[in-house]
Amino acid sequence: MWLFLVMASLIQQSTNSEESFSRRHLNPEGFMTIAEIIEYWGYPSEEYEVLTDDGYYLHLNRIPYGKHCLENPGPRPIVLLVHGLMIEGRCWIANLPSNSLGFFLADAGYDVWIINNRGTSWSRRHQEFSIDQQEFWEFSFHEMAIYDIPATINFILQKTKQDCLYYIGHSQGAALGLGAGSDSG
């Protein structure tokens, strides 16, 4: 019995120490919001919410200028980054600043805006429906293209008082841009 208790105690201690060791070496960004990641790397960060015509609230992140750029009162060229299917806006800042398009563009002098499409972790609000209701999820790429992209672009242009922006979309993001452009023409 004594041997069993000693062995059980040793196993318990080794399990706890492994768990503690593993937690210490986790990527700290894994538990951060997009804004926190931006700030973690020393960049200015802003957050906004856009309401679409069909009632969805979209979360936007902004890096208004680069880490080593002085805040310039003049307008900077604007770029909107739209993520692909099954990911969120974090993908544009997920690597080191020298390897992340969002940070790279900010350092190159762009005013960077990152959208989180409806239904992603950061854009799960609606005026009428909760995410537990089926009606919340009754949308397709079509609605995202005709409501989300125009609402986001209009919001950014009004906020910055500029009349155009650059659009970069990956996968679904590219399809949404094409859909939004073809519907408005």
What interhelical angle do 149-160 and 172-184 show, nearest 10? Answer: 80
Mean pLDDT within 4-12: 62
Residue with the bigger pLDDT between 4 and 124: it is 124
In this structure, is the dihedral angle defined by the CA atoms of residues 176, 179, 183 and 185, taken in order, positive or negative?
A: positive
Give the model confidence (pLDDT) of 16-61 as tens digits.
Answer: 555 555 555 677 777 899 999 999 999 999 999 999 999 999 999 9
Task: Determine the pLDDT at residue 185.
Answer: 45
Q: What is the pTM of this model?
A: 0.83
Distance, in Å, from the CA atom of 33 to the CA atom of 122, rounded to the nearest integer, reads 9
User: Residue 34 phi/psi, 5° resolution?
Assistant: -60, -45
Task: Tell me which of 46-50, 60-64, 126-130 is least confident.
Answer: 126-130
The neighbouring-strand residues paired with 169 are: 82
Distance, in Å, from the CA atom of 114 to the CA atom of 62, rounded to the nearest integer, reads 6
Residue with the bigger pLDDT between 15 and 126: it is 126
Confidence of residue 8 (pLDDT cuts 50, 70, 90): low
Confidence of residue 5 (pLDDT cuts 50, 70, 90): low
Residue with the bigger pLDDT between 130 and 2: it is 130
Task: Determine the pLDDT at residue 2.
Answer: 64
Contact (CB, 8 A) for 93 and 38: yes
Nearest to 90 by CA among 44, 49, 122, 131: 122
